[in-house]
């Protein structure tokens, strides 16, 4: 599977879910949105990403979680469409439009996105991550199998690694620690110096805490769909090192994008 396959396949699975929706007003568990609103947001975001992928300037929010939330609310207020079938079709079409647009550009070309500058390849990772997060919410609301699986999660890592320094919250103030993260076959490190994190392929020094976590659990935890205690209770994570207790604190240092 390629990153492009992952984007299209995920969008198609969301569209299939939406075709079975009987009431778009059904609430998303733990969120202030309905299924119809989440689907509308995905359709709007897909159009936004496809435009950026095609080289268009598309300002949206200020890059902070709060700014993105405000932009999301404003865009939904201006877009009344809530028909699940119509929106599912749009989500699938926009995913393909993004893949087609991005194929004509260098993957290393830097573009401006709602989460700040990133290259086109990472923008694709961003789109996939966004689809998986909201697609998961829709699946849970409908009590249907979700589309977050071990084959697609690795393609979210370029965006997740880039986003970490951009979504640090106040809990990280003054924090000093080196974390080694292992998720499936992927490895990276996050090193905090006075509350500022640097993400690297390998730890620059001996890690204070090593976190080994199932890829699906990693994504759902990073996106705020699972909590750290829930993840540990499900035996999806193991921590060790000189300061293993830091493993529980790690996800609390970030605000889910």
CATH number of 76's domain: 1.20.120.450
Please identify, among 124, 144, 160, the residue that sits at the C-terminal boundary of a domain.
Answer: 160
Q: Pick left, alpha or beta for residue 55 (phi over 0 → left; psi -120 to 50 → alpha; otherwise beta).
A: left
pLDDT at 131: 98
* pLDDT score at 256: 85
Residues 56 and 79 in one domain: yes
Q: Are residues 147 and 173 in the same domain?
A: no
pLDDT of the residue at 228: 84
Q: Are residues 49 and 134 in the same domain?
A: yes
Which residues touch 65 (CB under 8 Å, ≥6 apart)? 167, 255, 256, 257
Q: Residues 87-90: contacts with CB within 8 Å, 24+ apart?
A: 87/18, 87/36, 87/39, 87/40, 87/42, 87/43, 88/14, 88/15, 88/16, 88/17, 88/18, 88/19, 88/39, 89/15, 90/43, 90/46, 90/47
CB 128 within 8 A of CB 152: yes
Q: Examine the domain organization and report whether 146 and 210 are in the same domain.
A: no
Looking at 110, 127, 160, the residue that finishes a domain is: 160
Tell me: do 153 and 172 sit in the same domain.
Answer: no
Q: In the prediction, which pLDDT does 231 show?
A: 87
The set of residues, in sequence order, having a beta carbon less than 8 Å from that of 119 and lying 6+ positions away, is 107, 108, 109, 110, 111
Residues 178 and 128 in one domain: no
DSSP-assigned beta bridge partners for residue 212: 182, 238
Domains contained in the chain, number = 2
Do residue 187 and residue 242 come from a single domain? Answer: yes
Do 214 and 182 reside in the same domain of the chain?
yes
pLDDT over 90 percentage in the chain: 85
Same domain, 134 and 199: no
- pTM, entire model: 0.94
Label residue 57 by pLDDT band (50, 70, 90): confident
Domain ranges, residue 247: 167-253
Judgement on whether residues 110 and 231 belong to the same structural domain of the protein: no
The tens digit of pLDDT for each residue in 92-134 reads 999 999 999 999 999 999 999 999 999 999 999 999 999 999 9
Which of 29-33, 98-102, 222-226, 253-257 shows the lowest per-residue confidence on average (mean pLDDT)? Answer: 29-33
Q: What is the mean pLDDT of the chain?
A: 94
Tell me the percentage of the chain whose pLDDT exceeds 70: 100
More confident residue, 229 or 198: 198
Could you tell me if 12 and 68 lie in one domain? Answer: yes
User: Quick one: pLDDT band at residue 66, thresholds 50, 70, 90?
Assistant: confident
Do 240 and 217 fall into the same domain? yes
pLDDT digits (tens, 9 = 90+) for 217-240: 999 999 999 988 888 888 789 999
The domain spanning residue 228 has which CATH number? 3.30.1050.10
Which of 126, 160, 194 is a domain's end point? 160
What is the pLDDT, as a whole number, of residue 24? 94
């Amino acid at each position: 599977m390629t990153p492009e396959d992952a984007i299209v396949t995920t969008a198609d699975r969301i569209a299939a879910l939406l075709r079975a929706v009987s009431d778009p007003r059904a609430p998303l568990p733990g969120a202030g949105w309905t299924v119809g609103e989440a689907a509308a947001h995905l359709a709007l975001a897909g159009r936004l990403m496809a435009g950026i992928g095609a080289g268009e300037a598309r300002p949206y929010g200020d890059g902070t979680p709060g700014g993105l939330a405000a932009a999301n609310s404003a865009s939904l207020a201006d877009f009344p469409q809530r028909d699940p079938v119509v929106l599912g079709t749009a989500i699938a079409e926009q995913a393909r439009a993004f893949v087609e647009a991005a194929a004509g550009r260098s993957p290393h070309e830097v573009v401006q996105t709602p989460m700040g500058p990133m290259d086109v390849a990472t923008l694709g990772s961003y789109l996939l991550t966004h689809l998986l997060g909201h697609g998961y919410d829709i699946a849970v609301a409908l009590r249907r199998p979700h589309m977050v699986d071990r084959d697609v999660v690795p393609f979210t890592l370029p965006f997740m690694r880039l986003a970490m320094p951009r979504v640090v919250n106040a809990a990280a103030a003054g924090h000093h620690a080196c974390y080694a993260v292992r998720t499936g076959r992927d490895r990276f490190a996050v090193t905090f110096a006075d509350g500022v994190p640097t993400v690297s392929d390998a730890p620059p020094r001996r890690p204070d805490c090593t976190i080994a976590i199932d890829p699906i659990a990693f994504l759902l935890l990073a996106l705020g769909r699972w909590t750290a205690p829930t993840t540990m209770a499900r035996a999806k994570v193991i921590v060790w090192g000189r300061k293993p207790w830091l493993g529980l604190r790690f996800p609390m240092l970030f605000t889910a994008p």
